[in-house]
Structure 1
Amino acid sequence: MEISLFFQEQQKLLRHVSPRIKRSLFAHIDWSQRLIGIIGQRGVGKTTLMLQALKEQYGTSDHALYISVDNPFFKAISLYEFAIHFEQLGGKTLYIDEVHKYSDWSSHLKSIYDSTQLNIVFSGSSMLQIHAQEADLSRRAIIHRLANLSFREYLSLIGAGTFPAISLGELFAQHTSMAGEVAAHIKPLKHFNDYLAHGCYPFICEGPDTYQSKLVSIINQILESDLPYVTQIPVTQIDKLKKLLYLLAESAPFEPNISKLAAMTEISRATMGDYLRYLEQASLLQRVPSATKGTGRIRKPEKIYLYNTNLACAINKTPHIGTSRETFFVNQIKSSFYNTTSLLDTSIALSANGDFRIDNQFTIEVGGKNKGYGQIKDIADSYLAVDDMETGFKNTIPLWLFGFLY
């Protein structure tokens, strides 16, 4: 089995990987764990994260190897046998990219974990359902989800400024001074508008002119390749899913009526719920439940948003400004909670009074700079998240500052 070609390809990739700027998730991963999974949407930077870890820990050593099982080589070779051979050659850590493209991948990872001393880092689409696999990886694998770029990470990536991440508690208690510190170095509103249009994915470094076409290509790859491969959705349904995304992109935002949505897209009502769940797992949309208690919040989401504002701009060139504000807010809050361990996702829900309820404590109303406080004035821990504002005052917080949570 010829492995030298993979090492040659790896050296080419490492020459183009900079250790200077790392996603915030990098520091939260314990790279010494034996089986690490990194899941996330196409284009968010999973491959770069893995290569940065390899380069930092091993340099040009042959003790670590990066492979992508999307390579045709793995159509004819066992991933398990490849790993065994790599260990026999002195290998210590195997980085496996696009693992969901390999048939019966979980069984192979389980066998590698049980039969070798290799450390394994694998990445794949957020479609991966680790706990549902026949080979139970949930007791072995530590899974991390990589979100799209936060506004803070975007500023660092484009060289506008490097700022520390802040916690929710710090944001609510110290937002005036924190916003002032940022505003002393950059013009946050100028960069924020750019971020909403083309700042959620690292390939912004390749220039804004081709950004949306690349993002449309990613959407098509998810719908035409990833979804049918992982979920067995018939290819004949893909155009209907595209129509569904377009309808969501032009809504402000979409309050789901499953029967009406099924009729508009020609998707059966019986399968619409499954398709919405698949699109959410693929990081193309987000569902926000109501804050009501009980099983109702699990069964029926109250509002549906696209995953981020860049998707809305790529699909619908002129997205509704109010929807963009809420989409940004939902995206940054949910992303900041991705790797928080809990039985239920309590990061964000719709509020009976304001727009959103955060972490079962804070009530938030999102709007423009003329947004009034009257609707939530008598509610404890209530705040306005306001667009077109550089610094806030008391319980009024600049919307852009919620992009500093990770």
Structure 2
Amino acid sequence: MSIKLDEELIGSNPWWKGGFFHISIKEREIYQEILPYLEKKQIIGIYGLRRTGKSYLIYYLIKKLLETKEPRSILYFSMDDFGQTSLREVITAAENLSGMKAAYVFLDEVQKLDNWAEQVKRLYDLGNCKIFVSGSESLFLRKTSKESLGGRIFEFEVGPLAFGEYLSFRGIKTGALYSKEIREALGHYLLSSGFPELVEEKDLFFIRKYIKEGIIDKAIYRDIPERFEIEDPSILERILNIVVDNPGLLVDKNDLAKTLGVSRGSVSKYLFYMETSFLLRKIHNYSANASTSEKKLKRYYPAFSPLGIGLKTDPEYMGKVAETVCILKSRTKFFWRNPQKDEVDIVLTGPLLPIEVKYRETPSVGGLFKFMQKFRADSGFVITKDLEQKEGQISYIPLWKFLLGSEKARAQR
């Protein structure tokens, strides 16, 4: 094991000998979010849906550290084939090879390490190094880290590409001069669901196969059942298919339980499992009273553009696709719907800002006005297909501009 471990360490840390991985690393928004935490003592946990670029984020952080730190003080190691090897053994072998103490420790596929959270906790408590953890089984990592590493870890989610990142990956510049190219690229962005490996892919059925088999099926039939007692994983798939077909579904758990032939408790658990696995996003019905908001029915969306897996292009469905990507971009926690069924798709807080997605030629804004009157919001936004104008307190913004964050309504963190 010692020879195999040494060989793996040398191959995994080419910077010890002045090299690096032969890969191209493109800039992403989340990279800048994490940089301020590089020198904080807390562990950095990197989680997210499969195939969204978690490993590339690790490589980026290592590359940034190499600009100012001694290369031999940076250790990267994947536990993929070394689950029975103790973390202490890995670090001791690395320090013997490099001739330096490991000041920055990156552990990929850390869930393969036996009792990983306790081993990482012991290393953290020694206070000798900065620790980064990541892995493909994000559900397990998050569940275990919250139980064992509370207060010691900062979590960062790597999601599908934002529209601006997608354009950058394709070499399309932003700005008014390139608005034609940007608008033309929007359709494929929605189809690719923002997965980096699909940026240049044009085959519709390959895209669907990639998303279903490489991402969804692995989460539903492997990751979730490995960590929770699931009698029938196909129920998870049925729930996800229902949400993919009806993005923004207002979920009554009793009705859904009857449709699926399972208990209400099972529906609640399955929805939670898919949320924590980054397959679904839940948002609450906004109220000035938090407890009231919690009691109302919630909306559920796919955690990625559903177009690539749904492959429907009728105007109504395309409107729901546009609504989904706006929900994801804004990171909203709220929508609004009153007993009379007046609605607003997105409600941002601090300051209060309602946003309605109307991906059609002649958008109506009755619900938006009623929300603004009820909650005394100073302004509102309507996301449209092409219309751009301002009427009183309402600003109309094309979808592509909203996704690029070109207006004051850009994503609220």
TM above 0.5, yes or no, is: yes
Q: Equivalent of 1:326, from 291, 299, 323?
A: 323
- Cα deviation, 1:262-311, whole Å, max 9, x if unaligned, reads 232233221211110111111111111101223243355421111121xx
Amino acid in structure 2 at the alignment position of 1:306 = P
d(CA) in 1 for partners of 2:20 and 2:179? 33
d(CA) in 1 for partners of 2:170 and 2:146? 39
Distance 1:62 1:266, change over 3 A: farther
For the pair shown, the structure with the greater C-alpha radius of gyration is 2
Number of corresponding residues = 369
Mind listing any 5+ residue stretches in structure 1 that lack a counterpart?
164-180, 335-345
Q: Check if 1:211 corresponds to 2:211.
A: no
Q: Is the 8 A contact 1:80 1:109 kept in 2?
A: no
Mind listing any 5+ residue stretches in structure 2 that lack a counterpart?
406-410
Q: Equivalent of 2:290, from 290, 294, 299?
A: 294
Cα deviation for residue 347 of structure 1 reads 4.2
- Which residue number in structure 1 is paired with residue 349 of structure 2? 359
Q: Check if 1:369 corresponds to 2:378.
A: no
Q: Check if 1:283 corresponds to 2:294.
A: no
Aligned with 2:278: secondary structure? coil
Q: Check if 1:400 corresponds to 2:400.
A: yes
- Which residue number in structure 2 is paired with residue 303 of structure 1? 299
- Which residue number in structure 1 is paired with residue 125 of structure 2? 114
- Which residue number in structure 1 is paired with residue 8 of structure 2? 5
Amino acid in structure 2 at the alignment position of 1:111 = R
Q: Is the 8 A contact 1:387 1:400 kept in 2?
A: no
- Cα deviation, 1:140-196, whole Å, max 9, x if unaligned, reads 2222222221111111111112x5xxxxxxxxxxxxxxxxx4454543321111111
Distance 1:87 1:268, change over 3 A: farther
Mapping 1:251-270, distance limit 5 Å: 251=246, 253-270=248-265
- Which residue number in structure 1 is paired with residue 142 of structure 2? 129
Q: TM-score, structure 1 length as denominator?
A: 0.81
Q: Between the two structures, name the one with larger relative contact order (CA 8 Å, sep ≥ 6).
A: 1
d(CA) in 2 for partners of 1:55 and 1:193? 33
Mapping 1:57-206, distance limit 5 Å: 57-58=65-66, 61-69=71-79, 71-74=80-83, 76-89=84-97, 90=100, 91-115=102-126, 117-124=128-135, 125-127=137-139, 128-129=141-142, 133-135=146-148, 137-161=149-173, 163=174, 181-182=175-176, 184=178, 186-205=180-199
Cα deviation for residue 113 of structure 1 reads 1.1
d(CA) in 1 for partners of 2:130 and 2:367? 53
Moved more, 3-12 or 208-217: 3-12
Mapping 1:42-53, distance limit 5 Å: 42-53=50-61
Distance 1:110 1:8, change over 3 A: same
Distance 1:256 1:101, change over 3 A: farther
Q: Is the 8 A contact 1:284 1:307 kept in 2?
A: yes
d(CA) in 1 for partners of 2:75 and 2:145? 28
d(CA) in 2 for partners of 1:117 and 1:202? 35
Q: Is the 8 A contact 2:160 2:193 kept in 1?
A: no
Distance 1:359 1:275, change over 3 A: same
d(CA) in 1 for partners of 2:176 and 2:262? 47
d(CA) in 2 for partners of 1:81 and 1:195? 45
Amino acid in structure 1 at the alignment position of 2:336 = L
Distance 1:184 1:11, change over 3 A: same
- Cα deviation, 1:230-272, whole Å, max 9, x if unaligned, reads 3x233x4211111111111112531112122123223322121
Aligned with 1:354: secondary structure? strand
Amino acid in structure 2 at the alignment position of 1:44 = T
- Cα deviation, 1:21-70, whole Å, max 9, x if unaligned, reads 2111111212223421112111111100101221332389343232222x
Aligned with 1:304: secondary structure? strand
Q: Percent identity?
A: 23
Amino acid in structure 1 at the alignment position of 2:293 = R
Q: TM-score, structure 2 length as denominator?
A: 0.80
Aligned with 1:15: secondary structure? coil
Aligned-residue Cα RMSD (Å) equals: 2.8
Aligned with 1:44: secondary structure? coil
Amino acid in structure 2 at the alignment position of 1:24 = E
Q: Is the 8 A contact 1:302 1:350 kept in 2?
A: no
Amino acid in structure 2 at the alignment position of 1:72 = D
- Cα deviation, 1:67-95, whole Å, max 9, x if unaligned, reads 222x1322x21234323443454233221
d(CA) in 1 for partners of 2:123 and 2:217? 33
Distance 1:108 1:390, change over 3 A: farther
Amino acid in structure 1 at the alignment position of 2:386 = M
